[in-house]
DNA sequence: CTGAAAGCGCTAACAT
DNA sequence: ATGTTAGCGCTTTCAG
C-alpha cells in the first residue's frame, strides 16, 4: 500500500510551491517556462495524476457523467451507451451507468445516487422519460435537480424544460410506410406491440394511421395490437393475437428489434413464411437485426451520431453554453431480408 | 443554481455541532437520542446527502466500483453487469463502466481513468484477462495497482495474484458432451469458432478432445475451426469452413450465443435443418438463446449468482477481509430447440 | 510570475 | 455524549 504521491511531493521535488504545480496542472495561469518543464518532468517521473476528489471538492466537479437507462441489456441502449462513452472519453469524462428497469422507485433512488455522486451531468434514456404522461412528482424532482446539474433526456420529459434529444419518429414511420407501400402486394398492414402510454410508440401509431389514409389503405383495428412489454414475449403475444383471425396481414410493423424476434417466432409457429407470406419491418437497427433469421429490414439511427449528439449537448450544458432545447436525430432505412421484394 | 446545503447548515438548524451531525450520518459513535432525532428531521427536511467527494477525500473512498468489460453490447456482459449492479447497489456502491473493445491501448487508458477516479475496487471482465498468454506489461500494471486498489478478474490474469472468479469450463464441456453423446445418432461433433489464445476457449477445446476420446468418438481436425472473432461473423465463417467438406457433422459446439447465430445462418444457407440435420449447442445462456430461431440449447451460469459473487468478493477485498484466491462458478444446461431429441 | 494562505465539505482524533 | 480542531489534496484569491 504505497503512499500516494500528491501535489506536495511534486512541488518539493521540483523545488517550487504547490501553487506553481497546480498552475501547470490546470493551465489556468502563466508559469515560467523552465519551471514548467521541470514540474512536468517530475509529474511524468511519478506518473502523478491529481486527485479528482480533491479537485472536485473545490469546483463541485466529478468528471463523471451519469447515465440512467431503462435496461442496458437492450441492444439499443447498450449500443447507444458505447457511443456515448466514446464521445465522453474524448472529452475527458467517464460514465457512471445505472439501470432503472423502468421501475419508478429505482428511478428516484438512482437519480439521487447520481446527484450524490456529484456527476457533472445526467443523461436520462428511456424509462420515465419516454412516457406520454410524465409522473409529475418525477418531473418536479428533475426540474429541481436540473437547476444545479444539467439534465439531458433522450425522449421527452414533459413538465420539465430539460434539453431533449429525440428521434424523429414521424420520419421513422414515413420511411417504414413509404417502403411498405412501394410494394403493391402489401395491402393489409399490422402494428404489433408497444403501448400508447409510451410517447414514441404513440407517435408511431398516430402517424401510422395517418399514413394508411394517405396511401388509401384500410385500417384494421384487429391488426393493431398494443402490449406493455417491449421484449420478445411482448412481440410474440401481440403477433399471436393478430394471427388469431382467419386472414393474416401482408406486413407487420414491430416497435423494436427485440419484439420483432417474438413476432418472427409467432409467424413461424403459425406455419407462415417471412417474407413470402408476411413481411416484417422493425425500428432500431441494432445488431439484432442482422442476427435474427430472417435478418430484419429496419429503420434506425446512426448510433455514432446519436451518442455524439447526446454527449455534445451535455458538455455544452456543463460549460453553460447555449444549446437547442430539442435536437432531432434523423433515421434511415436499412433493407435486409424480412420484407418481400417488389 | 441554489446553494448546496451542507453539514454546517444542518448543524446550525438542528442546534448542534457539525460533529454531531457527522456522527448521526456515519453512525460511528453514540449520540443523544433526542438530538439524533432532531438532526435526522432536518436532514430529511432538506433531503440532505453528504458530499461523497468530501467524504472520499478523507478516506480515499469514492463509493464507486469500476468495471472494465470488453464490450457491454455483448449480452453476456450486459447481463452480468446488471446483476453486478444490483448487488453493488444493495451494498451502497455504484458502478462506473468502461468498455475496452479488447483494445490493448484502451485497457491501459481506462484502467488509469478508474484509478484516477479513485474507485474503491476494479473489476476486470473479459479482454486482457482472458488471454492465455497475458501481456506482461499489463500484468505488471495491474499488480502495481492492486497494491492500493482491490482488483477482481473475471477470467484469469496470469502474472498477477488478483482474486479471480472463473466459470468452471471443464464442467461446461462435460455438460455439453454428456448431453450430445447421450444421443446415439450423434457421432461427428464439430467445434466452431473461438481462438486458442483465449484461456477459456482453450480449456473448452482441450476438454473437448479429451472427452471425445472418453466417449470413443473420432476427432476430425476439419471440424475443429478456430476464429479470432467471437461475433456473428466469426461463427458464420467457421461454420462455412466446416460445411465445405462433403459430409457434415451431426452436432456443432459454439463458443458463445452470438457466434451461434452465425452458425445457424451458415447451416440454413447450406440448406440443412437444425436440429434434424445438425444439432447446435452453445455456451452462454444469454437472452439471445431464446431469441434465436431455433432457440438454443446452451450451457450457462446463473447470472444472479455470478454477479453476486463478483461483487461480494470485491466488497470483501475492500473491507480487507480474507477471500479465496479463486472462485469457481458452476454452470448448468438449459435445453431448448437446437439439439435433436433422442 | 510566484508563494502563502484560505477553504471546498467532511471525518476523526482530541479535549472536554 | 458533544464541541473544537486538524487535516484529506487540491484550486484560487491575495500579496508581493
Structure confidence at residue B30 as a pLDDT band (50, 70, 90): confident
Average pLDDT over residues A112-135: 91
How far is Cα of residue B61 from the mean position of the Cα atoms in its chain? Answer: 24
Binned at pLDDT 50, 70 and 90, residue B1 comes out as: very low
- The cell numbers describing B84, all together, are 453486478
Q: With bands split at pLDDT 50, 70 and 90, how would you rate the model's confidence at A84?
A: very high
Within 8 A of A116 by CB-CB distance, chain B residues are 49-50, 52
**For the segment B300-322, what is each residue's pLDDT rounded down to a tens digit?**
999 999 999 999 999 999 998 99
CA A261 to chain B, closest CA, distance in angstroms equals: 6
Smallest CA-to-CA distance from A296 within A257, A265, A248, A263 is with A257
Gap from A305 CA to D12 C1', Å: 38
Banded model confidence at residue A314, pLDDT cuts 50, 70, 90: very high
Distance, first Cα to last Cα, chain A: 69
Partner B contacted by A161 (CB < 8 A):
no
**Cβ contacts (< 8 Å) between A288 and chain B: which residues?**
291
* pLDDT averaged over every residue in chain A: 94
Segment (H or E) for A284: strand A279-284
> What is the tens place of the pLDDT at every residue in B180-211?
999 999 999 999 999 999 999 999 999 999 99
Give A1's pLDDT tier (boundaries 50, 70, 90): very low
CA–C1' distance B140–D8 (Å)? 29
Residue A64: list chain B partners with CB under 8 A. 96, 117
Determine whether A5 is exposed, middle or buried from the number of CB atoms within 10 Å of its CB (0-12, 13-18, 19+): middle
Contact A111, A145 (CB under 8 A): yes
pLDDT at B28 over 90: no
pLDDT in tens, A12-43: 999 999 999 999 999 988 899 999 999 999 99
The rounded distance, in Å, linking the Cα atoms of B109 and B251 is: 42
CB contact under 8 A, B4 and A148: yes
B54 CB neighbours in chain A (<8 A) are 57
* DSSP letter for each residue of A171-239: HHHHHHHHHHHTSTT---EEEE-B-TTBHHHHHHHHHHHHHHHHTT----GGGEE-BS--SHHHHHHHH
| Chain A residues closer than 8 Å to B293 by CB | 261, 264-265, 268, 292-293
Q: Does B82 touch chain A (CB under 8 A)?
A: yes
> Are A64 and B96 inside 8 Å of each other by CB?
yes
At B121-168, the pLDDT tens digits run: 999 998 888 899 889 999 999 999 998 899 999 998 989 999 999 999
Interface contact flag, A115 B49, Cβ < 8 Å = yes
A1 touches strand D (CB under 7 A): no
- Is the per-residue pLDDT at B69 higher than 90? yes
Question: CB-based contacts with strand C under 7 Å?
Answer: A 16-20, 23, 29-32, 35, 54, 57-58, 60; B 4, 6-8, 18-19, 21-22, 25-26, 28, 48, 50-51, 54-55, 57-59
pLDDT at A225 over 80: yes
Judged by CB atoms closer than 8 Å, whether chains meet at B113 and A96 is answered as no
Average pLDDT for chain B: 94
Does residue A64 contact residue B117 with C-beta atoms inside 8 Å? Answer: yes
What pLDDT is stored for residue B342 in this prediction?
72
Query: Quick one: pLDDT at residue A342?
Result: 72
Of A3 and A295, which is predicted with more confidence?
Answer: A295
Predicted model pTM:
0.94
Beta strands in chain B (DSSP E): 64-69, 94-99, 121-125, 151-154, 163-167, 189-192, 224-225, 251-254, 279-283, 297-300, 326-329, 332-334
Nearest to A117 among B52, B288, B290 (CB): B52
Task: Determine the average pLDDT of the residues in A221-243.
Answer: 97
Distance from residue A18's CA to nucleotide C12's C1', rounded to whole Å: 26
**Which range, of A296-305, B28-37, B67-76, B285-294, averages the lowest pLDDT?**
B28-37
pLDDT at A3: 63
pLDDT, greater one: A284 or A59: A284
Report the pLDDT value the prediction gives residue A209, as an integer from 0 to 100. 97
Amino acid at each position: 500500500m504505497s503512499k500516494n504521491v500528491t501535489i506536495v511531493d511534486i512541488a518539493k521535488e521540483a523545488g517550487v510551491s504547490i501553487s506553481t504545480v497546480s498552475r501547470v496542472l490546470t493551465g489556468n495561469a502563466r508559469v515560467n517556462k523552465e519551471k514548467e518543464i521541470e514540474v512536468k518532468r517530475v509529474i511524468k517521473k511519478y506518473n502523478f495524476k491529481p486527485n479528482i476528489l480533491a479537485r472536485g471538492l473545490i469546483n463541485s466537479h466529478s468528471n463523471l457523467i451519469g447515465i440512467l437507462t431503462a435496461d442496458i441489456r437492450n441492444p439499443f441502449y447498450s449500443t447507444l451507451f458505447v457511443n456515448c462513452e466514446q464521445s465522453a472519453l474524448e472529452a475527458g469524462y467517464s460514465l457512471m451507468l445505472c439501470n432503472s428497469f423502468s421501475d419508478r422507485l429505482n428511478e428516484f433512488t438512482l437519480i439521487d445516487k447520481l446527484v450524490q455522486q456529484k456527476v457533472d451531468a445526467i443523461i436520462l434514456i428511456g424509462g420515465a422519460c419516454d412516457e406520454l404522461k410524465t409522473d409529475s412528482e418525477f418531473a418536479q424532482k428533475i426540474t429541481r435537480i436540473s437547476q444545479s446539474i444539467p439534465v439531458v433526456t433522450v425522449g421527452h420529459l414533459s413538465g420539465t424544460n430539460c434539453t431533449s434529444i429525440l428521434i424523429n419518429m414521424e420520419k421513422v414511420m414515413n420511411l417504414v410506410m413509404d417502403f411498405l407501400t412501394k410494394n403493391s402486394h402489401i395491402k393489409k398492414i399490422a402494428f404489433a406491440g408497444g403501448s400508447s402510454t409510451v410517447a414514441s410508440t404513440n407517435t408511431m401509431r398516430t402517424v401510422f394511421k395517418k399514413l394508411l389514409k394517405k396511401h388509401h389503405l384500410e385500417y384494421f383495428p384487429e391488426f393493431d395490437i398494443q402490449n406493455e412489454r417491449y421484449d420478445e414475449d411482448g412481440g410474440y403475444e401481440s403477433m399471436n393475437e393478430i394471427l388469431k383471425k382467419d386472414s393474416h396481414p401482408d406486413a407487420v410493423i414491430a416497435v423494436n428489434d427485440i419484439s420483432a424476434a417474438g413476432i418472427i417466432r409467432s409467424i413461424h409457429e403459425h406455419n407462415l413464411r417471412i417474407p413470402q407470406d408476411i413481411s416484417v419491418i422493425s425500428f432500431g437497427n441494432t445488431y439484432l437485426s442482422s442476427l435474427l433469421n430472417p435478418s430484419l429490414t429496419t429503420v434506425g439511427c446512426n448510433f455514432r451520431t446519436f451518442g455524439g449528439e447526446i454527449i455534445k449537448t451535455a458538455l455544452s450544458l456543463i460549460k453553460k453554453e447555449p444549446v437547442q432545447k430539442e435536437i432531432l436525430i434523423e433515421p434511415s432505412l436499412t433493407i435486409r431480408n424480412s420484407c418481400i421484394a417488389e
